[in-house]
């Protein structure tokens, strides 16, 4: 799979380097620009998968860059996360006129930054029709939001559905409770929910998966995996 490219538009070298280091460490390709004008030109020439855009930039500021991107049908679908120093700007940044997809306020932790990026990328992908995920007797038709077991529909709550989808997509890899919390409940909510909640939902999901339930394996003190083989 092609790597996800993130364009970082930030004039402060230290912050840019720090962001770059953390993104590369997480497997992203990183492009950099130090001014709004240059950033905008690059996006038009070579569109990235996501833009991390500083608000205060020399010349054309982040707000003008974001507006320009969102007003152009060729670039309006590219997700933009604004980096701001002032929380008062947030309403404006996320407002319809500017149209940023999310924001993060300085100073931020690498973990917070990565969580925001993942959430925004995921939201973008949700609009695309995805292939069906299947494993054994189980099939998840994500475009139609339907789960079937041996061809019969399984009634899942939205959290159970998201959990199952995350586990199937991981194709046998172990997902930690923390990862599942963030993935299913979202970054903001996950900070206030205990990991026990994940266990409870997995328990409910198992009951509904009947003969396939034993493939949803508990990895003690870590999390869960869905065994792709029978
Ligand atoms: Ca700046």
Which tens digit of pLDDT belongs to each residue from 135-161?
888 988 877 788 999 989 999 998 999
Between the CA of 34 and the centroid of ligand 1 the distance, in Å, is 9
pLDDT tens digits, one per residue of 79-89: 999 998 876 66
CATH at residue 103: 3.40.50.2300
Looking at the fold, whether 88 and 194 belong to one and the same domain comes out as: no
Looking at the fold, whether 107 and 26 belong to one and the same domain comes out as: yes
Looking at the fold, whether 112 and 219 belong to one and the same domain comes out as: no
* Class of residue 83 by CB neighbours under 10 A (exposed 0-12, middle 13-18, buried 19+): buried
User: Would the CA dihedral through 28, 33, 39, 42 be positive or negative?
Assistant: negative
Between the CA of 95 and the centroid of ligand 1 the distance, in Å, is 21
**Cis ω for the linkage preceding 31 (within 30 of 0):** no
Between the CA of 229 and the centroid of ligand 1 the distance, in Å, is 50
94/1 Cα distance (integer angstroms)? 31
Between the CA of 58 and the centroid of ligand 1 the distance, in Å, is 7
pTM: 0.55
Looking at the fold, whether 67 and 142 belong to one and the same domain comes out as: no
Which domain covers residue 38, as residue numbers? 5-126
pLDDT tens digits, one per residue of 15-47: 999 999 999 999 999 999 999 999 999 999 999
Contact 55, 62 (CB under 8 A): yes
Looking at the fold, whether 142 and 94 belong to one and the same domain comes out as: no
Query: pLDDT at residue 201 above 70?
Result: yes
φ/ψ of residue 94, rounded to 5: -85, -10
- Over the chain, what is the mean pLDDT? 87
Query: pLDDT at residue 195 above 90?
Result: no
150/182 Cα distance (integer angstroms)? 30
Looking at the fold, whether 25 and 71 belong to one and the same domain comes out as: yes
Looking at the fold, whether 154 and 188 belong to one and the same domain comes out as: yes
């Amino acid at each position: 799979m092609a790597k996800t490219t993130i364009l970082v538009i930030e004039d402060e070298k230290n912050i840019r380097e720090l962001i770059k280091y953390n993104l590369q460490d997480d497997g992203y390709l990183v492009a950099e620009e130090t001014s709004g004008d240059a950033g905008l030109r690059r996006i038009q020439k070579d569109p990235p998968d996501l833009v991390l855009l500083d608000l205060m930039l020399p010349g054309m500021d982040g707000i003008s860059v974001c507006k320009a991107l969102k007003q152009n049908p060729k670039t309006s679908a590219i997700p933009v996360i604004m980096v701001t120093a002032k929380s008062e700007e947030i309403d404006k940044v996320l407002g319809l006129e500017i149209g940023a997809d999310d924001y993060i306020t300085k100073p931020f932790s690498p973990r917070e930054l990565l969580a925001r990026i993942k959430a925004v990328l995921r939201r973008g992908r949700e609009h695309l029709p995805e292939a069906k995920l299947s494993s054994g007797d189980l099939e998840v038709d994500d475009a139609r939001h339907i789960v079937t077991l041996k061809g019969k529909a399984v009634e899942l709550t939205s959290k159970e559905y998201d959990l199952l989808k995350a586990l199937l997509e991981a194709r046998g890899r172990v997902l930690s409770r923390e990862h599942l919390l963030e993935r299913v409940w979202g970054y903001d909510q996950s900070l206030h929910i205990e990991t026990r909640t994940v266990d409870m939902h997995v328990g409910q999901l198992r009951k509904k998966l009947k003969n396939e339930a034993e493939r949803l394996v508990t990895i003690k003190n870590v999390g869960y995996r869905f065994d792709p083989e029978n």
